[in-house]
Amino acid sequence: MKRRKLLISTAAACLGGAAQAQSAPVSTGSARPLRLLVPFAAGGATDITARALAGPLSQLLGAPVAVENRPGAAGATCMAEVAAAAPDGATLGVATLSTHGVNPAVYKHLPYNALDGFTPVTEIVKAPGVLVVHPGLPVRDFAQFMQHLKARPGQLAYASPGNGTIGHMWGELLKSSANVRMDHLPQAGATAALAEVLAGRVPVYFDQVASSLPHIQAGRLRALAVSWSRRLAVLPEVPTYAELSLFSNNDPSWFGLVAPAHTPAATARRLRDAVATVLREPAVLARLGEQGLFASGSLPDEFAAQIRKEVEKMRRVSRFARITLGKDAA
């Protein structure tokens, strides 16, 4: 309960001015249903985010909003369907750092173009990341961790949910930016990766704060750095990567809203304004805060610039680590 209240209060405090601006109700007066496609299975944070928005958006837009899960192929199945839909604002997708940052960087072929195949609408939420180690590793802070790594190049390993996942990319990003060596031990999903670290079989993990926080608070994991704009209220002693002069590592994960390419700018802006209004509702903030998600509500052009930045950064990481996956993600 303490963790939940802290995350919720931090989520409310971090709601940016973009989400607070232009908060007048938006309504189309149309009863045409709006489809909100989610690239992952029901029950996860992406799905919860979509469903937290759906009801309030339906009331605000005056049209039903139906959440449809389209898991498969690292999110490519869903994003291909969104990209192929009519550009009329009736079909939207929940884009993520995976679908619109990592996938274009690591897959040889995708059934969608992350940069040109969509009209970015808004970033919905951010999710801070955290570097954690097993407490059996003899380091107390990030500086000691770096010393330990540099004295033992290639002798330590980090776990990830699998090749080409965000955890994998964050690990390789730290290796490139801090000039250190670690082995990568991919696991069969986030649950398996976290279990390996908790058991001490793999000492290092790059996670989202919400997933690792209970273990950090219980002393089963030690947090060394977070990717966030400021120190988190739930981890006040843990520095941000920016404080450690690792600025490229300081970007959190995120979920956003995209429409098919050629969706009219006025439609995208109307949808963004509706999302920004919903993100001010206490019940929505509370539901997102329970998942460690922090409301955003950026403008369409801001979100477009963010996607371009993420794709380029992840391409640099994939080149550094020589990460190329399969013939395609379909």
Express each pLDDT in 37-83 by its tens digit.
999 999 989 999 999 999 999 999 999 999 999 999 999 999 999 99
Determine the pLDDT at residue 254.
97
Question: Yes or no: is domain 2-127+252-321 CATH 2.60.40.10?
Answer: no
Contact 256, 303 (CB under 8 A): yes
DSSP tag of 215: H
Global pTM?
Answer: 0.87
Mean pLDDT of the chain: 90
Contact 222, 198 (CB under 8 A): no
Beta bridge pairs of residue 183: 157
Helical ranges in the chain per DSSP H: 2-13, 17-20, 45-61, 76-84, 97, 103-106, 142-151, 166-178, 190-198, 209-217, 265-278, 282-289, 300-321
Determine the pLDDT at residue 31.
57
How is residue 265 written in tokens?
């700018």
Rg (CA), the chain: 20
pLDDT at 294 over 50: yes
Give the domain ranges of the chain: 2-127+252-321, 129-249
Beta bridge pairs of residue 253: 127
**Could you give the CA distance from residue 196 to residue 185 in angstroms, rounded to a whole number?**
10
Q: Can you spell out the DSSP letters for 240-275?
A: BTTTTT-GGG---EEEEEEEETT--HHHHHHHHHHH
CATH topology of domain 129-249: D-Maltodextrin-Binding Protein; domain 2 (3.40.190)
